[in-house]
Amino acid sequence: MLQHKKAESNRGTLKTGEEEAVIYTKPEDEIFHELSSWSFSFPLHSQWLKNYRPMGLVMAVEAGNASSEFRDRLKSSM
pLDDT, mean of residues 44-72: 76
Q: Per-residue pLDDT for 29 more than 80?
A: yes
Can you give the residue ranges of every domain in the chain?
Answer: 2-77
Q: Which of 26, 28, 36 is nearest to 72 (CA)?
A: 28
Q: Per-residue pLDDT for 11 more than 70?
A: no
Residue 76's H or E segment, with its range, is helix 66-77
pLDDT, mean of residues 37-60: 75
Judge if pTM exceeds 0.85: no
